Amino acid sequence: MRSSQEVYKEVAQECDSYTAVNAQNENAFTNSAKEVSCLSCQHFAADEHCELDLYDKIVAKL
What global pTM score does this model have? 0.75
pLDDT at 2: 56
User: CA-to-CA distance for 40 and 19, rounded, in angstroms?
Assistant: 8
* pLDDT tens-digit map of 2-52: 568 999 999 999 999 999 987 555 544 444 447 899 999 999 999 989 999
38: Cβ contacts below 8 Å, ≥ 6 apart: 3, 8, 9, 11, 12, 15, 44, 50, 55
Q: What is the mean predicted confidence (pLDDT) over 55-59?
A: 95
